[in-house]
Chain A
């Protein structure tokens, strides 16, 4: 299998690592080899957090610029910041306003390299469901609706069920489902 590269980004405390964990675990459950890189330490105190995930037979953990098939961002600016990682024909998913994303200045470049961007107001959705810290699951649900990655919706859902701590399981699945529904409507 060709290696599939993910870059996941957001702010410290937003749950980039948990989102990466679900993606990695779901991939492993499918029998894929997993290699990833995380941010720990001082940057976790509200700084930009990026994690890399590579699925396939690789030795190194970092995604090179120009090489990410998928960029999943929990915050709009943290999506733009990581544009250099996007490969030609890559996909960019972000938690951002539907109308204004991506901002005008980056569109010509994204078009040139054939990147498709999609956004979902994951922060509002998570807040409305009473789980403001679950932007990550809303975005994952949204992402899973487009059937583009190596891991499908059901596999994600099963993994969230598997790795969520008991007291968060129900709400995590609820937010994930809301993201999925939103994506499914757009993907009709």
Chain B
């Protein structure tokens, strides 16, 4: 036995390998990104033969894992909650067809949201797809549930979703673990076109089978005391009870224990769908009122039948957006206790401290591109060359180009390109020549850029597309991309050059540039613009290629340049507002901009930007 502090995503990974999961696929996205690397770490340290892959997107990941699950193997695919939108097409169909082995889909939610476009609730996707969903409340339970999920999937031949929220994924907890072994189950695919390639007529049959599976699973969940349980005393009646699931369950449990409130019973729902109706009815019968505390949407709340008793989001007792952090939960329970004339909680609130902090006018720390980031150089050049353009952009570090005034939109993965073509046609319809510059990262382009680019070329849209190629998936924690040709376990795959993919999409103007050279990049963008506006032209693609400074510091900046600011600085703030390097700051004493040498990477890009030439080599 070993004891180690695991990240929640590491606990999920541990559960997967302990359960003999043979195939694990993923596309990175906060808060799910560390699951696959943690699987790789365990596989390497234990010498296992688990197949792992970074897939190009979540749908691809799900399909690949599903193939293993219909070959009798145990498989998992991991993604963030909005990634499940991309994989939804697969999920809905896979639910009907089912598995022969096991498939767990791990979809990580982000209440807050901390690093996502939406606060959507994966449990609702499970309900939509009609697949069981498990909602872990901490890393230890996530590890346990992932094993149960694979067993359940194998038993009922249905995909199962595990929904850890960010406070499970990015929690850390100490866990003990033992030696791990390979699962020797061999792949076998039995041909059965009526099922694997079912036509609509047979889909009806499959739907009936799925419903039957769900009825059986619901019964199983009702008695599943490991994940669904309460602390009612037999025969006792309570003025107030609480029903909670997932992370909020852990928080409520800790609060009730810390406050010593044995007078408030708590029902935990670890399997929100299919809903353990019998258990919930039993709990509700013993309570006059119940508060439902769940993240992020209303799932348990909708399933409770006796609406008169329920206090939750629908009644306005629980906030309908934002993370349910402990102080929010503490406050909302306390308020209900007061309203019901029950003994309130002991704490006197944090209002005074919050008001104090608010009065301090502390600097707002918006995230920003790192010092030396090549995207900063690209954005500076883009804005300089095409100041009036609509700047469509995408999901990744470079969304932070917002701060530089070089990002106007960020919708979903790949939308830099699809919105660019959409904008083009909308303005072109009115005979307006609207300049458009789209920016997308290399990983995001591989994820879902190509279909949009094919469409744009096919329909003769005109815009400049800058692919920001930093040779890594940076925002999510430095995962390799297909362009790099390094696989999830560090082994060599086949690198796919962006240039070839872009050419394959039918683009004729493809130029590669190092964005650190702002002058050359600006010039190239202007040339691209001429091509876009030429009747015989088309979409112009510029690949702005420079390695990420975090992932490849030495390659990115082989010879650091020491930079300083001279007295010529007139405090025009262009470098602070339009370039926004964290290493440049306003020195109030000197009354000019100065360089924070601790943060400066020596990339030297800022030497090219000052209109007064005040940023110079030291």
Binding site for B on A (CB under 8 A): 3, 11-13, 20-21, 24-25, 28, 33-48, 53, 58-67, 77, 80-81, 83-84, 86, 103, 105-106, 109, 123, 127, 132-133
Contacts and interface: CB of A to CB of B under 8 A. Distances in A.
24 contacts: A12-B367, A34-B172, A36-B173, A38-B172, A39-B170, A41-B114, A41-B115, A42-B399, A43-B115, A46-B365, A46-B368, A46-B582, A59-B251, A59-B254, A61-B138, A61-B171, A61-B172, A63-B326, A64-B255, A65-B326, A65-B350, A84-B350, A103-B360, A105-B360
B357 A80 contact: yes
Contact of A24 (B172, B255, B582): B172
B114 A65 contact: no
A59 B5 contact: no
Given A60-B250, A77-B362, A45 B327 contact: no
B145 to A, nearest CB: 15
Contacts of A36: 5, 171-173
B292 interface: no
Interface string B1-35: 00101010000000000000000000000110110
Contacts of B269: none
A64 B167 CA distance: 14
B426 interface: no
Contacts of B251: 59-60, 62
B170 A42 contact: no
A69 to B, nearest CB: 13
Given A35-B172, A40-B477, A62 B598 contact: no
Contact of A40 (B31, B173, B359, B366): B31
A133 to B, nearest CB: 8
Given A45-B367, A64-B330, A40 B353 contact: no
B137 interface: yes
Nearest to B354: A84
Given A45-B400, A60-B137, A80-B362, 20 more contacts: A28-B3, A28-B174, A34-B173, A35-B138, A37-B171, A40-B477, A41-B30, A42-B114, A42-B400, A45-B369, A45-B475, A59-B250, A60-B138, A60-B251, A61-B171, A61-B250, A66-B353, A81-B362, A86-B353, A132-B598
A41 B31 contact: yes
A40 B115 contact: yes
A43 B397 CA distance: 10
Contacts of B137: 59-60
A43 B356 CA distance: 24
Contacts of A3: 258
B356 A37 contact: no
Contacts of A46: 365-368, 370, 582
A79 to B, nearest CB: 10
B347 interface: yes
Interface in B347-398: 347-350, 352-354, 356-357, 359-360, 362-363, 365-370, 397
B167 A84 contact: no
Contacts of A24: 5, 172
B115 A42 contact: yes
A123 B173 CA distance: 30
A34 B167 contact: no
B247 interface: yes
B598 A60 contact: no
Interface string B191-228: 00000000000000000000000000000000000000
Contacts of A59: 137-138, 249-251, 253-254
Contacts of A42: 30, 114-115, 367, 399-400, 475
Contacts of B369: 45
Nearest to B138: A59
Interface of B: 3, 5, 7, 30-31, 33-34, 114-115, 137-138, 167, 170-174, 247, 249-251, 253-255, 258, 325-327, 330, 347-350, 352-354, 356-357, 359-360, 362-363, 365-370, 397, 399-400, 475-477, 582, 598
Given A34-B5, A41-B475, A105-B359, A47 B366 contact: yes
Nearest to B326: A64
A36 B475 CA distance: 22
A67 to B, nearest CB: 8
Contacts of A25: 5
A60 B170 contact: no
Contact of A47 (B167, B255, B362, B367): B367
Nearest to B171: A61
B390 to A, nearest CB: 23
A43 B34 CA distance: 16
Given A45-B369, A77-B362, A60 B356 contact: no
Contact of B356 (A21, A33, A61, A83): A83
B30 A40 contact: yes
- 3 closest A-B pairs by beta carbon, nearest first, are A41-B115, A41-B30, A64-B326
Contacts of A66: 327, 347-350, 353
B296 to A, nearest CB: 15
Contact of B363 (A53, A61, A77, A123): A77
A48 B370 contact: no
B223 to A, nearest CB: 23
A61 B167 contact: yes
Contact of B247 (A12, A60, A65, A105): A60
B115 A109 contact: no
B114 A109 contact: no
A60 B246 CA distance: 10
